């Protein structure tokens, strides 16, 4: 069983030593926009120095482990990442908040003493109120999550089923304790209080206006906790949200019956009843214009995402690695573009280069829409913005030189609907953008396509 050191730190100055406080216009306030960046600069190398110190203590090398790095391939995502397999101590830090994990309490106490001295050199000190040593079965709160080891209660027929299953299921059945990460009760209560107050302040709003106000709050909070054990919290919040919205609707129409109120403000969306929505029309003409997406709709299966390597950073310049993450929807891109990136393996078919984290992807119709091309994935390919401009410059030039009407332009389409956009390679061959299942992939031009444009 592991023991955990939960810690934070606070600035220490000469003024605080003397119990005197002076007003100053210099520096940055705690919790400011630049505060996390300054914390990362000040606390950099903390983990490396701690591991080196603990390994330097006589007889502790085996207790701490080695810092050898190996490459592991994720079975689900097929992506490789670097890990330190044989290191028995972990330090997880986010800005000025960090946790040290080890199974031996003596190691944790020595870590606390060393970190205290390490911070003093930088003019900082551990906060006595926030720093505590607890056992993993007691649990602790970290970044709005409650992390705790619970006793494994799997038994009976379900346990026998796991013992006869995959190696991962067998380990789950034999484990004495199970790690559980879930939202803290304080965060759940605070978020619902915010949602409830927002609904109370918008008594005169229309359903459409209320949805526009609530949806960003719900989506942002749910996305933060969707990757952990949050099913119970999401179900509870969905129920409380429904009760609050029903009160809001009944208050707007005190002289109407409950069935009338339910029909006016709640509908069925994807099999889910009592969904708050903007509804217009009656009877057969009844139509849901917009509805409120609840918490449970944002939930993801725990562990369904690919981990990021311990030594990776979004700004480390490794565009090949992060382009692979982009192809799985990582980053600020639309779901449709993420799907095309995944299909193309993160490669632009025109320049054959990978998409970087700062590149501008653009969706291109292989068969132009004004010639009957459909707005479907089979007719779309994701290219760089400058590559997209290059394609359309070439199309426009060919059209101006040889085409008087759209009918004339059709001669530049192959029999399979492929646009005869060609590019000469270094070996003298040409390539063409394809449609259908091979859409977005540059392939050598066949014999039928080698006629001059």
DSSP string spanning 230-245? -HHHHHHHHHHHHHHH
- Residues 173 and 193 placed together within one structural domain of the fold: no
Q: Is the CB of residue 370 less than 8 Å from the CB of residue 406?
A: yes
Per-residue pLDDT at 11: 38
Predicted confidence (pLDDT) per residue in 203-226, tens digit: 889 999 999 999 999 999 998 998
- Residues 174 and 102 placed together within one structural domain of the fold: no
- Residues 272 and 199 placed together within one structural domain of the fold: yes
Identify the band that residue 8 occupies on the pLDDT scale cut at 50, 70 and 90: very low
Assigned domain for 418 exists: no
Task: Give me the residue label for tokens 């119990």.
Answer: 19
Predicted confidence (pLDDT) per residue in 252-282, tens digit: 999 999 999 999 999 888 888 899 999 888 8
Q: How far is CA 325 from CA 186, 214, 217, 356, in A?
A: 33, 30, 26, 10
Predicted confidence (pLDDT) per residue in 30-79, tens digit: 667 788 888 888 888 898 899 999 999 988 988 888 877 778 787 766 66
Cβ partners under 8 Å of residue 46, min gap 6: 91, 93, 98, 115, 118
**CA distance linking residue 7 with residue 141, whole number of Å:** 11
Element (H, E) at 6: strand 3-7
Backbone dihedral region of 64: left (phi > 0), alpha (psi from -120 to 50 degrees) or beta? alpha
- Residues 80 and 145 placed together within one structural domain of the fold: no
Assigned domain for 441 exists: no
Q: What is the mean pLDDT of residues 375-387?
A: 85
Q: Is the CB of residue 67 less than 8 Å from the CB of residue 51?
A: yes
Identify the band that residue 395 occupies on the pLDDT scale cut at 50, 70 and 90: low
Dihedral sign for Cα 141, 145, 148, 151, please: positive
Tell how strand 442-444 and strand 9-11 pair up: unpaired
For the chain, the domain total comes to 5
**CA distance linking residue 236 with residue 188, whole number of Å:** 9
Taking 50 as the threshold, does the pLDDT of residue 438 lie above it?
no
- Residues 190 and 175 placed together within one structural domain of the fold: no
User: The domain containing residue 85 runs over which residues?
Assistant: 45-126
The number of angstroms, rounded, from the C-alpha of 20 to the middle of its chain's C-alpha atoms is 45
Tokens linked to 248: 């809001």
CB atoms within 10 A of CB 379: 18
Per-residue pLDDT at 328: 54
Assigned domain for 353 exists: yes
- Residues 67 and 98 placed together within one structural domain of the fold: yes
pTM of the full predicted structure?
0.68
Q: Write the DSSP symbol of residue 112.
A: H
- pLDDT more than 70, % of the chain: 72
Short-list 88, 86, 8, CA closest to 46: 8
Per-residue pLDDT at 390: 83
Q: How far is CA 246 from CA 188, 196, 207, 240, 433, in A?
A: 20, 12, 12, 10, 54
- Residues 82 and 177 placed together within one structural domain of the fold: no
- Residues 195 and 163 placed together within one structural domain of the fold: no
Assigned domain for 344 exists: yes
Element (H, E) at 158: helix 157-163
Q: Write the DSSP symbol of residue 135.
A: E
Assigned domain for 216 exists: yes
Q: Which residue has the higher pLDDT, 389 or 370?
A: 389
Predicted confidence (pLDDT) per residue in 344-373, tens digit: 877 888 888 877 767 778 888 887 787 777
Taking 90 as the threshold, does the pLDDT of residue 145 lie above it?
yes
**CA distance linking residue 67 with residue 310, whole number of Å:** 12
- Residues 280 and 213 placed together within one structural domain of the fold: yes
Task: Give me the residue label for tokens 């653009």.
Answer: 362
Assigned domain for 302 exists: no
Average pLDDT, the chain: 78
């Amino acid at each position: 069983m592991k023991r955990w050191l939960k810690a934070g730190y606070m600035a220490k100055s000469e003024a605080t030593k003397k119990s005197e406080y002076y007003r100053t216009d210099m520096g940055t306030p705690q919790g400011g926009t630049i505060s996390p960046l300054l914390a990362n600069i000040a606390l950099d190398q903390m983990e490396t120095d701690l591991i080196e110190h603990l390994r330097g203590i006589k007889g502790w090398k085996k207790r701490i482990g080695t810092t050898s790095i190996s490459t592991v391939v994720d079975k689900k995502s097929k992506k490789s990442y670097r890990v330190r397999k044989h290191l028995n101590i972990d330090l997880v830090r986010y800005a000025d908040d960090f946790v040290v994990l080890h199974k031996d309490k003596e190691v944790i106490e020595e870590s606390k003493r060393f970190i205290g001295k390490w911070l003093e050199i930088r003019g900082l000190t551990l906060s006595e109120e926030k720093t505590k040593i607890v056992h993993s079965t007691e649990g602790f709160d970290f970044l709005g999550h409650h992390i705790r080891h619970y006793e494994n209660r799997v038994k009976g027929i379900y346990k026998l089923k796991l013992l006869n299953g995959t190696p991962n299921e067998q380990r789950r059945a034999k484990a004495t304790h199970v790690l559980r990460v879930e939202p803290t009760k304080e965060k759940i209560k605070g978020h619902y209080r915010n949602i409830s107050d927002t609904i109370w302040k918008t008594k005169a709003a229309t359903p459409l206006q209320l949805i526009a106000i609530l949806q960003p709050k719900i989506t942002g909070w749910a996305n933060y906790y969707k990757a952990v054990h949050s099913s119970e919290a999401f179900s509870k919040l969905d129920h409380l949200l429904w009760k609050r919205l029903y009160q809001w609707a009944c208050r707007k129409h005190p002289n109407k019956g409950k069935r009338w109120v339910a029909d006016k403000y709640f509908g069925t969306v994807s099999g889910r009843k009592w969904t708050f929505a903007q509804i217009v029309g009656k009877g057969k003409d009844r139509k849901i214009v917009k509805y409120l997406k609840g918490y449970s709709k944002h939930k993801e299966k725990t562990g369904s995402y690919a981990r990021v390597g311990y030594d990776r950073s979004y700004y480390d310049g490794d565009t090949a690695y992060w382009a692979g993450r982009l192809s799985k929807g990582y980053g600020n891109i639309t779901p449709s573009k993420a799907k095309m990136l995944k299909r193309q393996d993160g490669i632009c078919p025109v320049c054959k280069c990978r998409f970087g984290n700062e590149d501008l992807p653009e969706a291109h119709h292989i068969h132009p829409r004004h010639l009957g091309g459909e707005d479907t994935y089979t007719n779309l390919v994701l290219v760089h913005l400058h590559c997209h401009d290059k394609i359309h410059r070439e199309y426009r030039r060919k059209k101006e030189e040889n085409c008087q009407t759209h009918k004339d332009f059709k001669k530049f389409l192959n029999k399979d609907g492929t646009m005869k956009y060609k590019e000469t390679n270094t070996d003298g061959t040409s390539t063409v953008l394809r449609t259908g299942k091979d859409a977005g992939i540059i392939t050598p031009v066949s014999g039928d396509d080698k006629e001059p444009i």
